[in-house]
Structure 1
Amino acid sequence: MDLDSWRALQAAQQPEWPDPDELEKVVAELGGLPPLVFAGECDQLKDQLAAVARGEAFVLQGGDCAETFTGATADNVRNKLKTLLQMAIVLTYAGRVPVVKIGRVAGQFAKPRSKPTEVRDGVELPAYRGDMVNGFDFTPEARRPDPWRLLKAYHSSAVTLNLARAFTKGGYADLRQVHAWNQDFVAGSPSGRRYEQLAREIDQALAFMRACGAEPEEFHTVEFYSSHEALILDYDRALTRIDSRTGLPYDVSAHMVWIGERTRQLDGAHVDFFAKIRNPIGVKLGPSTTADDALALIEKLNPANEAGRLTFITRFGASKIRDLLPGLVKEITASGARVAWICDPMHGNTFETPSGHKTRRVDDVLDEVAGFFEVHRALGTHPGGIHIEFTGDDVTECLGGGHEINEADLATRYETACDPRLNRVQSLDLAFRVAELYRG
Structure 2
Amino acid sequence: MAYAFGRVADEDVDPFVHGSQDEEAQVGGSWTPHQWRDRPAAQLPDYPDSAAAERIEKRLAAAPALVSVADIQHLKAQLAQVSARRSFLLQGGDCAESFAEFGADKVRTTFNLLLRMGAMVQAESGTNVVHLARIAGQFAKPRSATTETRGEVTLPSYRGDAVNGPAFTEKDRVPDPKRLLEAHRQAEVTVQLLAAYAEASYADLRRIHNEAGLSAPLRPVSMFTSHEALLLNYEEAFTRFDPATESWWATTGHFLWLGDRTRQVDGAHVEYARGIANPIGLKCGPSLSPDELNRLIDILDPNNQPGRLTLIGRFGAGKVEEHLPTLLKVTKDRGSNAIWSIDPMHGNTRSAGAHKTRMLADIVKEISAFFAITRAEGAHPGGVHLEMTGGHVTECLGGSVQVEEADLPLRYLTHCDPRLNEQQALDVAHELAGLVANKAGDSACVA
TM-score, normalised via structure 2 length: 0.89
Sequence identity percentage: 47
* Secondary structure of the corresponding residue to residue 69 of structure 1: coil
Residues 172 and 71 from structure 1, CA distance in 2 versus in 1: closer, same or farther, beyond 3 angstroms?
farther
Q: How many residues align?
A: 408
Kindly indicate whether residue 92 of structure 2 is the aligned counterpart of residue 62 of structure 1.
Answer: yes
Matched AA of 1:36: L
Q: Residues 173, 318 of structure 1: CA spacing in aligned structure 2 closer, same or farther, 3 A cutoff?
A: farther
Structure 2: stretches of 5+ with no match in the other structure: 1-30, 439-447
1:2 Cα deviation from its structure 2 partner: 2.7
Deviation sequence 1:50-76 (CA, Å, 0-9, x none)? 111111110000000000112321111
Contact 1:167 1:173 in 2 (8 A): no
Could you say which residue in structure 2 is the equivalent of 1:25? Answer: 55
Q: 8 Å contact 2:124–2:434 — kept in the other structure?
A: yes
2:434 match: 436
**How far apart in 2 are the matches of 1:38 and 1:283?**
22
What is the match of residue 268 of structure 1? 267
Residue 409 of structure 1, CA deviation: 0.5
| Other-structure match for 1:8 | 38
Q: Deviations over 1:10-38 (max 9, x none)?
A: 00000010101100100000000010001
Partner of 2:156: 126
Selected match of 1:51 from 77, 81, 105: 81
Q: 1:328: which partner in 2? A: 327
Residues of 1 paired with 2:196 and 2:409: CA distance?
A: 34
Give the equivalent residue in structure 2 for 1:368.
Answer: 366
Deviates more, 1:8-17 or 1:328-337: 328-337
| Residue aligned with 2:261, SS | helix
Aligned partner of residue 133 in structure 2, secondary structure: strand
Q: Given that residues 89 and 129 in structure 2 are in contact (C-alpha distance below 8 angstroms), is that contact kept between their aligned partners in structure 1?
A: yes
SS in 1 for 2:381: coil
Whole-Å separation in 1 of the counterparts to 2:231 and 2:336: 29
C-alpha distance in structure 2 between counterparts of 1:420 and 1:133, whole Å: 20
Runs of 5+ consecutive residues of structure 1 not aligned to the other structure: 184-198, 207-214
Residue 141 to residue 173, structure 1, CA distance change in 2 (3 Å): farther
Q: Secondary structure at the match of 1:153?
A: helix
Letter in 1 for 2:420: L
Matched residue type, 2:46: E
Decide whether the 8 Å contact of 1:173 with 1:222 is kept in 2. Answer: no
**Which residue is 1:212 aligned to?**
none
Relative to structure 1, the CA distance from residue 373 to residue 173 in structure 2 (aligned partners, 3 Å threshold; closer, same or farther) is: farther
Tell me the equivalent position of 1:390. Answer: 388
Q: Separation in 2 of the partners of 1:169 and 1:369?
A: 33
The reply to whether residue 297 of structure 1 matches residue 279 of structure 2 is no
User: Is the 1:116–1:127 Cα contact (8 Å) retained in structure 2?
Assistant: yes
- Superposition deviation, residue 173 in structure 1: 6.2
1:378 counterpart = 2:376: yes
Partners in 1 of 2:260 and 2:224 — Cα distance?
Answer: 22
User: Is 1:34 aligned to 2:61, yes or no?
Assistant: no
Q: What letter is aligned with 1:69? A: F
- For residues 294-347 of structure 1, the C-alpha deviation after alignment (integer angstroms, 9 at most, x for no partner) is 111110011111111111000000011122111211221111111001100000
CA distance in 2, matches of 1:72, 1:163: 12
Cα distance in 1, alignment partners of residues 434 and 162 from structure 2:
39
Residue 167 (str. 1) matches residue 167 (str. 2): no
Q: CA deviation at 1:3?
A: 2.4
Q: Name the structure 2 match of 1:229.
A: 228
Deviates more, 1:89-98 or 1:406-415: 89-98
Sort the Cα spacing of 1:407 and 1:78 in 2 relative to 1 into closer, same or farther, 3 A.
same
**TM-score, normalised to structure 1's length?**
0.91
Q: Residues 280 and 107 of structure 1: is their aligned pair in 2 closer, same or farther, counting only changes over 3 Å?
A: same
| 1:107-126 mapped onto 2 (5 Å cutoff) | 107-126=137-156
SS of residue paired to 2:201: coil
Residue type of the alignment partner of 1:363: A
In the other structure, the counterpart of 2:423 is 425
Amino acid at match of 2:364: L
Amino acid at match of 1:249: W
Task: Give the Å deviation of 1:172.
Answer: 5.4
Q: Which amino acid counterpart does residue 141 of structure 1 have in structure 2?
A: K
Give yes or no for the alignment of 1:239 onto 2:269: no
For the Cα contact (< 8 Å) 1:391–1:421, is it kept in 2? yes
Report if the CA contact (8 A) 1:85-1:173 is conserved: no
Asked whether the 8 Å contact 2:41–2:268 carries over to 1, the reply is yes
Matching residue of 1:143: 173
Moved more, 56-65 or 323-332: 323-332
My pick for the range that moved more, 356-365 or 48-57, is 48-57
Aligned-partner Cα distance in 1 for 2:261–2:67 = 26
Q: Distance in 1 between matches of 2:378 and 2:204?
A: 35
Higher deviation after alignment, 362-371 or 52-61: 52-61
Contact 2:256/2:279 (CA < 8 Å) preserved in 1?
yes
Deviation at 1:380, TM superposition (A): 2.0
Check whether the contact 2:293–2:330 (CA below 8 A) recurs between aligned residues: no
Q: Per-residue CA shift, 1:150-201, capped at 9, x if unaligned?
A: 1111110011111112112312564321135xx4xxxxxxxxxxxxxxx5xx
> Hey, what does 2:20 align to over in structure 1?
none
Partner Cα separation in structure 1 for residue 157 and residue 383 of structure 2:
32
**Whole-angstrom CA distance in 2 between matches of 1:331 and 1:119:** 41
